[in-house]
């Protein structure tokens, strides 16, 4: 980006840089404001690939998918950067065009993308299959060796979550539960929400204890719901207050790890062995070939 800015007059370069910095600063908290700053930079320096990419990313994050797609196409044309293909495909999905998303997933440049970008494309392609009602094909798309790869890459929990979600949609609840737990195990910051999905399938409920994200898990049963409806008397409240006074000094925070102490390690007992599955860059082609062999109505 610095090299591109040097091609501009100094005063203009400084102004463009200020808007790009502001765009980056607001990207997480206010993507719409970040998008507006990026658009201002584009008005000043539309021929810079870095500026167009900033507009594309901020438009995507602020859900202006039409413009994001236009800008990603411009970035690809101006810079030859094909790493934007997965995001372009996701824009097509967001615009209700899953067939076009699948078409992008089959472009020849996909096989040359970085591993993370290839995985993201698989996730988008599987989502497009589900949009079209092809849940079985979505599951097959995601059954790749990378599911069981030992890595801390950001794409791993996303891949496992997408696979678990597709299994759940297909009614394979036990398999889905295994993979939601595996996704949660790889999700260091909890961004996928895999732990919550697993809890839902197990009939558990997360209760927020305080502002520091400590959680307790409790099982919800029909008996509990019936008990909750019983009338609480003044004597019950007084007894509860006495009990709290006696134990307050010794009470420790209750956290998820305590609630799950002794539970089975489902990740180690996970279902099917996927080590012999096809490589990630071959699966979508296989699914497409099977689609073409099916008789048409």
- Cβ–Cβ under 8 Å, residues 185 and 208: no
Tokens, residue 242 = 């006495």
Residues 123 and 187 in one domain: no
Q: What count of Cα atoms within 13 Å lies in the side-chain half-sphere of residue 275?
A: 3
Residue 143: left (phi > 0), alpha (psi -120 to 50), or beta?
Answer: beta
Q: Is residue 193 part of a domain?
A: yes
Domain boundary among the residues 40, 59, 81 is at 81
Number of domains in the chain: 3
> What does the pLDDT look like over 37-88, one tens digit per residue?
999 999 999 999 999 999 999 999 999 999 999 999 999 999 999 999 999 9
pLDDT more than 70, % of the chain: 68
Look up the CATH number of the domain holding residue 18.
Answer: 1.25.40
Q: Is residue 209 part of a domain?
A: no
Is the model's pLDDT at 229 over the cut of 60? no
Is the model's pLDDT at 206 over the cut of 60? no
Residues 17 and 74 in one domain: yes
Q: Is residue 253 part of a domain?
A: no
Model-level pTM greater than 0.75?
no
Q: Quote the distance between the C-alpha of residue 294 and its chain's center.
A: 32
Domain boundary among the residues 137, 156, 176 is at 137
Q: Is residue 290 part of a domain?
A: no
**193-212 b/e (C-beta count within 10 Å ≥ 16 → b):** ebbbbbbebeebeeeeeeee
- Nearest Cα residue to 180 out of 192, 168, 162, 198: 198
Higher model confidence: residue 285 or residue 56? 56
> What does the pLDDT look like over 160-174, one tens digit per residue?
999 999 999 999 999
**146-169 b/e (C-beta count within 10 Å ≥ 16 → b):** bbeeeeeeebbbbbbbbbbbbbbe
Domain that holds residue 115: 82-137
> What does the pLDDT look like over 92-117, one tens digit per residue?
999 999 999 999 999 999 999 999 99
């Amino acid at each position: 980006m610095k090299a591109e800015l040097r091609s501009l007059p100094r005063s203009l370069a400084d102004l463009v840089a200020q808007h790009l910095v502001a765009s980056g600063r607001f990207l997480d908290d206010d993507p719409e404001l970040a998008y507006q700053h990026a658009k201002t930079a584009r008005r000043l320096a539309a021929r810079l690939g870095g500026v167009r990419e900033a507009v594309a990313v901020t438009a995507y994050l602020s859900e202006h998918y039409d413009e994001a797609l236009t800008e990603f196409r411009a970035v690809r044309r101006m810079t030859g950067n094909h790493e934007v293909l997965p995001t372009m495909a996701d824009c097509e999905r967001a615009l209700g065009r899953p067939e076009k998303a699948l078409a992008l997933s089959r472009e020849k440049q996909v096989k040359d993308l970085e591993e993370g970008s290839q995985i993201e494309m698989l996730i988008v392609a599987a989502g497009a299959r589900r949009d079209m009602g092809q849940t079985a094909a979505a599951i097959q798309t995601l059954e790749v060796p990378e599911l069981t790869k030992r890595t801390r890459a950001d794409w791993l929990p996303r891949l496992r979550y997408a696979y678990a979600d597709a299994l759940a949609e297909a009614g394979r609840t036990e398999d889905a539960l295994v993979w939601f737990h595996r996704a949660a195990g790889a999700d260091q910051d909890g961004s996928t929400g895999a732990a919550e999905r697993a809890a839902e399938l197990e009939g558990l409920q997360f209760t927020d204890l305080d502002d520091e994200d400590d959680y307790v898990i409790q099982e919800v049963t029909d008996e509990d719901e019936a008990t909750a409806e019983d009338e609480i008397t003044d004597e019950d409240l007084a007894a509860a207050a006495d009990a709290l006074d006696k134990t307050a000094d010794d009470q420790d925070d209750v956290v998820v790890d305590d609630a799950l102490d002794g539970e089975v390690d489902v990740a180690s007992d996970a279902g099917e062995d996927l080590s012999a599955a096809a490589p990630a860059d071959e699966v979508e082609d296989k699914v497409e070939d099977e689609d073409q062999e099916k008789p048409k109505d």
